[in-house]
Amino acid sequence: MNDEADQILLLTLRQVGCDLPDECTSLDVFTTEDLVKTTSHILSLNNTPDALPFHKAVLPREMSGKFKACSTLAEHVVKLGYTASELGFHQFLYPSARTTR
User: pLDDT tens digits, residue range 61-78?
Assistant: 899 989 998 998 899 889
Query: Is the predicted pLDDT of residue 57 greater than 70, yes or no?
Result: no
Domain extent at residue 64: 2-100
Percentage of residues in the chain with pLDDT exceeding 90? 33
Domain count, the chain: 1
Alpha-carbon distance of 61 to 32, in angstroms, equals 12
Q: What does pLDDT average to over the chain?
A: 85
Alpha-carbon distance of 98 to 5, in angstroms, equals 12
pLDDT in tens, 80-98: 888 778 899 999 999 998 8
Pairwise pLDDT comparison (4 vs 101), residue with the higher score: 4
What local confidence, expressed as pLDDT, does residue 8 receive?
A: 94
HSE at residue 80, side-chain half, CA atoms within 13 A, is: 18
Query: Is the predicted pLDDT of residue 52 greater than 60, yes or no?
Result: no
Residue type (1 letter), 29 = V
